[in-house]
Chains A and B, each alone.
Chain A
Amino acid sequence: SAVISQKPSRDICQRGTSLTIQCQVDSQVTMMFWYRQQPGQSLTLIATANQGSEATYESGFVIDKFPISRPNLTFSTLTVSNMSPEDSSIYLCSVELYMNTEAFFGQGTRLTVV
C-alpha cells in the first residue's frame, strides 16, 4: 500500500480566489489522479497527473480551471482557480503502485467556497 498525505484537509475560501491542494506519497507511484466528490455524490475523475508533462483532463474539466502539476513520482498539486460556490466539494488525490490493480486515496480536501 501507500501512505498519502493530502493538504489542506479542509478550507473555506472566498469566491474568485484560488486554492492549491498538495498530495505527497511515501513511495514512488506509477499514476496519480485527482477526483472531485460533490456533496452527496460519487467520485468524478478530474484528471490524470503526468510526471513532467501536462495532465490529461476528463471531459468537462479544463486546465485553466484546474491546473495540475506533478514534478516527480511522489508529489502532485491541484489548483482550483477562480472559485465559485459550485466548486464546493471534496477533492481527492489517488495513486496507483506498479502492478497493483487497486488505487489508494488521500484523506481528501473538503473545500467550501463562500
Chain B
Amino acid sequence: AQSVAQPEDQVNVAEGNPLTVKCTYSVSGNPYLFWYVQYPNRGLQFLLKYITGDNLVKGSYGFEAEFNKSQTSFHLKKPSALVSDSALYFCAVRDLPRSGTDSWGKFQFGAGTQVVVTP
C-alpha cells in the first residue's frame, strides 16, 4: 500500500524567508511523487513531480523539491517566499501504470499543509 504524510498542518513564514513544506512517503516499489497547490476557491494546480533522474526537481513559481530515498522524503522548497504563496499544498504519490491500461494508477494525497506567508 502507498501513502504520504504531511506532518505539519500549517507552516508560517515571513515574506522573503525560505519556505519548506515536508512530505514523507511509503511505497512498495519506486515512488512517483507530486506536489500540488490549491488557492482559495480554486482547484489543484500541478507544481512539480519526481519520476526518475535528478533528485532535485524544479517546478512552477520558483518551487523545487528534493527526493531523498534514504529518508523517504520529498520536501517542497522555495528560497524566498512571497505573500502570494499562501495556499494549501498537497503532496501525492502514485501507483505504477496498471497492466492492460494506458493510465497510471490512483493518486494518494496527503492531508495538506496550509502555508501562511506574512508580509
Contacts and interface: CB of A to CB of B under 8 A. Distances in A.
B49 A101 contact: yes
Contact of A42 (B49, B90, B106): B90
The secondary-structure label for the interface of chain A is: loop
Interface residues of B, number: 22
Interface string A56-80: 0000000000000000000000000
**Which size class do A's interface residues fall under?**
20 to 34
B41 interface: yes
Contacts of B109: 42-43
Nearest to B48: A102
A105 B44 contact: yes
B31 interface: no
Interface string B31-59: 01010100001111110010100000000
Contacts of B49: 101-102
A45 B43 CA distance: 14
Contacts of B94: 101
Contact of A92 (B41, B43, B46, B106): B43
Interface string B70-106: 0000000000000000000010001000000011101
B63 to A, nearest CB: 14
12 contacts: A42-B90, A42-B109, A43-B109, A94-B44, A96-B103, A98-B102, A101-B51, A101-B104, A105-B45, A106-B43, A107-B41, A107-B43
Interface of A: 1, 4, 6, 9, 30-31, 41-43, 45, 92, 94, 96, 98-99, 101-108, 110
